[in-house]
Amino acid sequence: MVGHGASSSGLFYIANVYYDRSSRRSLFLNKGLIRVLPIRSLMFFILCSGNISIPPTINFWSEIYLIGSLLGFDTLIILVFPIGSFLGVVFTIIIYSYTQHGKMVFGRGGVTTLIGRETLLILLHIIPLYLFFLNIGVVFE
């Protein structure tokens, strides 16, 4: 829950920052943001990779423990869990590539550079996501 809270709330915060900057909620109109805001795009990618449970995140360990505990209840879940995980990965990759790549529809659209407060808030989501991996015992005790 700690890893999911860090990655998901960070992704929602970045989505809100994109909306505040561009005043557009449509993903079709918020394309090509990697050209304007490459640092924010990197942060968005790091949070997306945490959301899909790549190995250096706490989410990776939690999915491994989740699979082990679910197998203790029912062995049929081994067929359902990978499908759900795969669909989550596909959705996250599509959202990232759709918003960050492509041609911007209306030019810059009022999107400006990062503010220090926004960078700090995004980093406060990223740092725990990756540092808890180094000391996993703190989370599971």
Q: How many CB atoms lie within 10 A of CB 79?
A: 8
The domain segmentation of the chain, as residue ranges, is 2-140
Whole-prediction pTM: 0.80
Q: What angle do the packed helices 116-134 and 2-22 form, to 10 degrees?
A: 160
Q: What is the pLDDT along the chain (141 residues), one digit of tens a residue?
A: 777 888 888 888 888 887 877 777 776 677 777 777 788 888 889 988 888 888 888 888 888 888 888 888 887 888 888 888 899 899 989 888 888 887 766 555 555 556 788 888 888 888 888 877 776 665 556
End-to-end alpha carbon distance in the chain: 14
